Amino acid sequence: MSILVNKNTRLLVQGITGQEGIFHTEKMVEYGTRVVAGVTPGKGGEWVLNGKIPVFDSVKIAKNATGANTSVIFVPARFAADAMFEAADAGMELIICITEGVPVADMMRVRNFLDQKGVRLVGPNCPGLLTPGEAKAGIIPGNIAIPGSIGVVSRSGTLTYEVLYALKNLGLGVSTCVGIGGDPVNGTNFIDTLEMFQEDPDTEKIVLIGEIGGTDEEQAAEYISKYVTKPVASFIAGRTAPPGKRMGHAGAIVQGGTGLAEDKIRALEDAGVKVADHPEQIPELL
């Protein structure tokens, strides 16, 4: 079993005719994901990937024509908020926004709208989702993970790939990998994903990959201590980061005495989580 995406997911790609959109659409199709439509305003009626996927002018038209239930967004940051609004308004059940650099003010408006609509968002500034052997929605390489029973949730794209590959090399498979992104305002968070993994009967163990900045990991630790009965291993990036300096992600900044790696590690260990010194150690801890 899996969470969020599987072989029955009917995926729509917003921004499919752009360079990033078409490249990753091809990779998703090669993996076996059911990509049923693309959306680029003004290019409705066209087809991409040698006539395999139709392009529509709007998400609503595409959904009505193809039955798409999930959207993945590859549009420039200045259009990303409108793309998320459009997908939610059209009735998409799940929206995955890969775009980075979306302004915080835009995301606050989007989050408010999506919460009212009851639509789940993953991202922005994230690598997306991968359910090995079934579907990938985003940019996570499909060949670095095998099917299994370990759920992975991460704020960092690159570290996600490293951990997935380390697990694969030891023959450990993954139920679903969720890249939630590292922006200060996003959709799905650690607690949302932990709850889904806890309820998923085929996820037996969980990997949580965090980083400095904010208090998401501390909140996740508190949730784990109260509600998660499955074994959890973790890695926190940024132990050596100087205070006040942004490290890759907009949310990865230590300010006002909060967001330190030491605080996150302590909270996780107090909750019974095994914390790795480096990503390659995670398979051993599991």
Q: How far apart are CA 114 and CA 118, in angstroms?
A: 6
DSSP sequence for 76-98: -HHHHHHHHHHHHHTT-SEEEE-
The question of whether 249 is a catalytic residue gets the answer: yes
- Under DSSP, is residue 245 helix (H, G, I), strand (E, B) or coil? coil
Q: How far apart are CA 1 and CA 175, in angstroms?
A: 7
CB neighbours of 152 closer than 8 A, spacing ≥ 6? Answer: 160, 163, 164, 167, 174, 176, 177, 178, 206, 207, 209
Q: How far apart are CA 126 and CA 83, in angstroms?
A: 16
Q: How far apart are CA 71 and CA 39, in angstroms?
A: 10
Running DSSP on this structure, what letter comes out for residue 255? B
Catalytic choice (136, 155, 205, 249): 249
Pairing of strands 128-131, 174-179: antiparallel
User: Residue 88 in contact with residue 114, Cβ under 8 Å?
Assistant: yes
**Residue 230 has which token pair?**
């499955």
CB neighbours of 110 closer than 8 A, spacing ≥ 6? Answer: 81, 84, 85, 121
User: Residue 161 in contact with residue 135, Cβ under 8 Å?
Assistant: no
Which residues are bridge partners to 138 per DSSP?
128
Indicate which residues carry an active-site annotation. Answer: 249
